[in-house]
Amino acid sequence: MASAERGQTKYQINLRRYLRESGVDRDLTRIICEIANASKYIINAIRTGDLGVAGTSNLYGEQQLELDVLSDRIIQKRLMYSGVIAKMASEEVDEVVEVTVRNNGRYSIAFDPLDGSSLVDVNLAVGTIVSIYEGDNLLRPGRNQVAALYVLYGPRTTMVVSTGKGVHEFAMNQLMEFDMVQENIQLEGPAKIYAPGGLRSKYTPGTLKFVRSLEANGTKLRYSGGFVPDINQVLIKGGGIFMYPHLTDNPHGKLRLLYELNPMAFLVEQAGGTASNGKQRILDMTPESLDQCAPVFIGTKESVAFAERCLLEEEGT
């Protein structure tokens, strides 16, 4: 496969072609391409949706949907009749959606249709996060994922995706197709940037020690409040760490294991990085519920290992 340096592809390699030529299963390719298609409608919803809240009606009398609910509907409608899905779990829906009754789908997905949706009101970047498993059991450790991706709706719309053969970045072109811009993204060395989620006043001693060490080493703070753009910056800049740690008043952190942490951990590990809850690999955690949260330190191996050491030294965990 022709390699593609960032921005200088020898010829435009689009998403569907890349997946096909990489030998990715046809049904899995179908899911990834359906998400790519859904992203076009989500972009439109973000750009044209009134900033009103759900329950109000727009000037045509149509009921106003919150963007995350609308994004959820867009994705579900595209996948419901794709013939390749067994179950869907959406962060916007309390129950798992059984699709098998309509077809014998081979894959199940867990997704956050529009993570960080509250940031749209202040015109900051948001994203769609998708985790894909073979079969119909979504409550398995994240190491069982067969693919993961996110779509980042920023100044450019990009998709970062892995099917277990490295992690690659695609950008939406004028025809609203995704062309490859970077193949086999790699994370190396100590963190150049860090993204500290949660209130500093609620950090435990080990996290405080870790963050103070990063600052003493000149690591730059980069935090937007959106998980997708903040992880994307760690990946595309080639080195960094994102954390949303356990807090003194919340031992489980804020981010959801199924919809946010497992897919991002899969992508970051494919780039040579790692993701931990402070003492255990995120991808080894067995989810006990759909909305289970976990603390997270995710980025370069070196930085995550140092965070774990700080927690062990200061908190014995």
Rank residues 142 and 253 by Cβ distance to ligand AFP and give the closer one.
253
- Rounded least distance, CB 260 to ligand AFP, Å: 7
Residue 207 binds ligand AFP, judged by CB under 6 A: no
DSSP state of 168: E
- Rounded least distance, CB 33 to ligand AFP, Å: 25
> Are the C-beta atoms of residues 13 and 148 closer than 8 Å to each other?
no
Q: Which residues contact 315 (CB under 8 A, 6 or more apart)?
A: 204, 205, 206
Look up residue 247 and give its two tokens: 């807090």
- Rounded least distance, CB 117 to ligand AFP, Å: 6
Q: Which residues contact 233 (CB under 8 A, 6 or more apart)?
A: 193, 195, 222, 240
Residue 197 binds ligand AFP, judged by CB under 6 A: yes
> Are the C-beta atoms of residues 195 and 268 closer than 8 Å to each other?
no
Residue 300 binds ligand AFP, judged by CB under 6 A: no
Please count the helices (runs of H) and the strands (runs of E) in the chain: 7, 15
Q: Which residues contact 21 (CB under 8 A, 6 or more apart)?
A: 1
- Using CB positions, name the residue nearest to ligand AFP: 227
> Are the C-beta atoms of residues 253 and 291 closer than 8 Å to each other?
no
Residue 297 binds ligand AFP, judged by CB under 6 A: no
Residue 49 binds ligand AFP, judged by CB under 6 A: no
Residue 254 binds ligand AFP, judged by CB under 6 A: yes
Residue 178 binds ligand AFP, judged by CB under 6 A: no
Residue 259 binds ligand AFP, judged by CB under 6 A: no
Q: Which residues contact 103 (CB under 8 A, 6 or more apart)?
A: 81, 83, 84, 85
Rank residues 105 and 113 by Cβ distance to ligand AFP and give the closer one.
113
Buried-exposed string 83-94: b where 16+ CB fall within 10 A, e elsewhere: ebbbbbbbbbee
Residue 66 binds ligand AFP, judged by CB under 6 A: no
Which region, judged by CB under 6 A, interacts with ligand AFP, from 113-121, 212-220, 271-279, 303-311?
113-121
Among 14, 31, 106, 116, which residue sits at the site for ligand AFP (rule: CB under 6 A)? 116
Site residues (CB under 6 A) for ligand AFP, limited to 212-231: 225-227
DSSP state of 267: H
Rank residues 197 and 240 by Cβ distance to ligand AFP and give the closer one.
197
Q: Please tell me the count of residues contacting ligand AFP according to CB under 6 A.
A: 11
- Rounded least distance, CB 226 to ligand AFP, Å: 5
- Rounded least distance, CB 92 to ligand AFP, Å: 10
Look up residue 47 and give its two tokens: 């750009």
Residue 154 binds ligand AFP, judged by CB under 6 A: no
Q: Which residues contact 6 (CB under 8 A, 6 or more apart)?
A: 169, 181, 182
Residues forming contacts to ligand AFP in the complex (CB under 6 A) are 115-118, 197-198, 225-227, 254-255
